[in-house]
Amino acid sequence: MRIRQLAFATQDLASSRQQLLTLLGLDADYADPGVAEFGLNNSVMATGTSFLELVSPFEENTAVSRMMTRMQGDCGYMALFQVDDLGPVNGRVEKMGLRKIWEVDRAEVKAFHVHPKDIGGVLVSFDEMNPVEEWVWAGSQWQQRTAKCTGDITGCQISVQGSQNVAEKWATVLGAQVDTGKAGCASITMTDGAQVEFVELGADGREGLIGIELAVLDITRLEKTLNSGMFAWDGTAIDLFGVRISFAGLG
């Protein structure tokens, strides 16, 4: 199991897309026409063998637009986990009585989304790919358009009330265990070493995906980008799309 993709909700897709392309060191992305069924436009960008996604509503009263209203702006939206076999995950989800709000079963992908109110913290997707190294949500030949500055997702932070209980629920679904993360909070470690950390709601009351960490491929180029004035780099992280983005080994 691994964190394969993280998504952010943004009002201004064009501006946010340009910011993320610049940050990652990318020339191209992928717009998935399939998200139109949710009233969304999107942009999916490959960083290492992981992916970051921007979603933006083009219809009123979508789940994303309502979420951004609650969060008072751009925010973290979704976490997508790749699993080797969706069957056991599905069995545990059904046994726990968690609601699925979308499901697909095709030759190249089996996946479903779990309601954030049931699993806690954020909208979660569990995905099984065939072949395992592919990622259909990034389009064909995504390997030819990968980030030059950054690599794989190495961690993320979920803010939620009752963080320990929520961490245990996620761990049960994933067939994993709850550990103590780098920040001393409850966490789940993926098979590639990435961590999902669960923290208590802060004073701002913002629930959901509030932080991500990326590996660094080209430290010189990334530092130049971070110090260009385009981003509010504080030496540790930047705040972008309502999420704090940090870089493994930098800062």
> Pairing relation of β-strands 2-9 and 75-82?
antiparallel
Q: What is the pLDDT of residue 126?
A: 98
Lowest mean pLDDT segment, chosen from 60-64, 83-87, 128-132, 201-205: 201-205
Q: What is the pLDDT of residue 180?
A: 83
pLDDT band with cut points at 50, 70 and 90 for residue 61? confident
Q: What is the pLDDT of residue 15?
A: 96
Q: Of 70, 183, 49, 177, give the one whose Cα is nearest residue 117.
A: 70
Q: What is the pLDDT of residue 201?
A: 84
Q: What is the pLDDT of residue 156?
A: 97
For the segment 193-209, the average pLDDT, to the nearest whole number, is 88
Q: Is the pLDDT of residue 143 over 90?
A: yes
Please report which helix (H) or strand (E) contains residue 94, including its range. Answer: helix 86-96
Residue pLDDT, tens place only, 13-56: 999 999 999 999 999 999 999 899 899 999 999 999 999 999 99
Going from the N-terminus, what domains does the chain have, and what CATH number goes with each? Answer: 2-142 (3.10.180.10), 148-247 (3.10.180.10)
Q: Is the pLDDT of residue 181 over 80?
A: no
pTM: 0.95
Contact 2, 192 (CB under 8 A): yes
Q: What is the pLDDT of residue 173?
A: 96
CA of 82: how far to CAs of 57, 157, 232, 245, in Å? 25, 18, 32, 21
Cα–Cα distance measured from residue 115 to residue 100, given in angstroms and rounded to the nearest whole number = 6
pLDDT band with cut points at 50, 70 and 90 for residue 125? very high
Q: What is the pLDDT of residue 237?
A: 96
Q: Is the pLDDT of residue 204 over 90?
A: no
Quote the mean pLDDT of the chain: 94
